[in-house]
Structure 1
Amino acid sequence: MTLKRVVVTGLGALTPIGNTLPAYWEGLKSGTSGAAPITHFDASLFKTKFACEVKNFEVGQFMDRKEARKMDPFAQYAMVAVDEAIKDSNLPLAELDPDRAGVIWGSGIGGLLTFQEEVKSYTKGNCNPRFNPFFIPKMIPDLSAGHISIKYGFRGPNFVTVSACASSTNALYDAFTFIRLGKADIIVSGGSEAAVCEAGVGGFNAMKALSERNDSPETASRPYDQDRDGFVLGEGAGALILEEYEHAKRRGAKIYGEVLGGGMSADAYHITAPHPEGAGIIKVMQYALEEAGLRPEDVDYVNTHGTSTPLGDLGEIKAIQKVFGEHAYKLNISSTKSMTGHLLGAAGAIESIACLLAINESIIPPTINHFTDDAGLDPRLNLTFNKAQKREVNIALSNTFGFGGHNFSIILSKLKA
């Protein structure tokens, strides 16, 4: 079997630092923090009172309100980002073979707000068993892919990956694999999440996973800083149109870059903590390089998982040093979660978009909020602190890891001749 080449021909983004692809990129380049006091609910009694919310979002500007009421915000976000990506790709929808077009989406949690509100309503009503008929369809993660396919009439592969915070990179890797194997010509992929609600913040607070820097939300997400104290919860969506290269070429599509390969592994260690030696992280990057047919020294930029947690940040950097050796000192490394917060299941999608834009614009987005060096990190590494850096980027690697020990890496490059 001859494996197909896979390229990216459209992008869409709805993030805490910009509600469109151009706005998101401007936010990344300028080092904008999306963290601010929570407005979605009264967080005054919570340990963490801030998050990276999507701002100035009115769903009625993007879709019929009657249709929107059938969707949890995580699905609304998906529809908005996908609509931008479809338009950006200039796909000739009327001419496509719908059986060769699919949707593979990612969400770590799905309709958490819907679940929370329905249960609250049930308990307030003296346990009278009345539930919204859209309760289950709004809650389950796979309905995001369902809504997308229904809107565009795509009848190819259709499902949602659930791998905690690695979900959307999982989705992208699956989409890449399906196209590579000739199972589809076009797949809409990416991820969405909307967990900034009482259950989301309270649940992560109970795990002691979130930063509690309430006096300075905008500086709370500080990957690789000595004083990091947890991640900042984010929300939003990122969408990518993956397309078989010859199919894209025939229609004269704009091509952002090529997907060269990916990797997946499991820590098989702990439900939330990373492996202390970074064993799974080392393997997943090695697998990605092997599948892409690359040497470590071929990579220019690594967009890290980098959530701003004490153990996770350190373990990933040590794994990068193990995999890349001396070349680690020639890499640009950054965590864009310092700006967007952690979008959970949508993180890999918006971070893959950041990699593609870095490739196209020759700009490395920064790791903001660095104040104090961590004595456990090698000072020779270029972690792109505080300001974007100009650099030609031919190949970028993006890491995403999830609770349960799920690890995914994906490698993106400039289009090869």
Structure 2
Amino acid sequence: MKTEQNNEMSRRGFLKRTALAGAAICIAPTWGKVTAAEKVITGESAISHTTIPSGMAAVRTQRTLGSGKAAFTVSAMGYGCMGLNHNRSQYPSKEKEIALVREAVERGVTLFDTAESYGYHVNEKLVGEALKGYTDRVFVSSKFGHKFVNGVQVKTEEDSTPANIRRVCENSLRNLGVETLGMFYQHRIDPNTPIEVVAETCSELIKEGKILHWGMCEVNTDTIRRAHKICPITAIQSEYHFMHRTVEENGVLALCEELDIGFVPYSPLNRGFLGGMINEYTQFDTSNDNRQTLPRFQPKAIRANYRIVEVLNAFGRTRGITPAQVALAWLMNKKPFIVPIPGTTKLSHLEENLRATEIIFMPQEMKELEDTVAAIPIIGSRYDALQESKIQK
């Protein structure tokens, strides 16, 4: 089993890694400390052939998603690529976005997240172009499961049949210009295809060397247990942040800990809201921003929910950190197997996000944050009725 894992890592060109760092003493907030579950990135590492310059905003630690044969060691923070072109209003030129993605690589990010549905192949091709020449240093995760007909998504149906999983996999490999996907997630559950069939198909793709690991998005504990028995799951990807803590309440996060499955929170800043840059007057691009349709992003809801941003701002002000850094650091301090994937189109925000990997909160600080935020009622649902219906309860 260990030999197989080593073969997987070498196939991606990964160099030797440093030993586990000792357990860090919690100092609030402490910069540059490392938990016992993380590895320090230095010198001859998976990230770069040279040490990342001191003082540069970067991710210098790694975390492991999954265990045993399913173990997957990546940078402690990944990069969510959806917003480079899809559902996040205006964006820079392709040249600037490619430069930003490559900057993330140079700053230690090794996990990049995309999907077939982010502009139907558009995002995958953009990410593939950006990472050309870097694929021996990084992993790319993509997703299958949405149903498309002639390039148009059928929003009322999902398709995780073995034939579609394989079709999407081949398309993703071609779009990204890689021989193997680091992770392959089921984007949403397909009620017409048993999860055991999905797991078996992914197991075959792993044996064929087309994917290294697999995972699922927005599923419940029963589905996770059933799938994990067929093919060990490396990570679950679900929305998780201060304004959506369902995975704590429905047992998913606890089950991930029990089964040694990693957890990858998407939208860790609540689609940018927790960064404090959105208010009731924000105008979303009507042609390329799904936030305009979400109940939680209507003006009245934004105005009411902004109290949560103020809590993060007040907490961070005396510690020299921003609301976004508070939100990201809180997630990373929750569990050592959590790897958030914030996205951005701005270098300043990339730097801000990466510095959050160096912050450690004391237990009493975590409790203070959680109790204060929990006392504020959250206005508006995170999704509309159709999207919410695709989330397993």
Q: TM-score, with normalisation over the residues of structure 1?
A: 0.27
Q: TM-score, with normalisation over the residues of structure 2?
A: 0.28
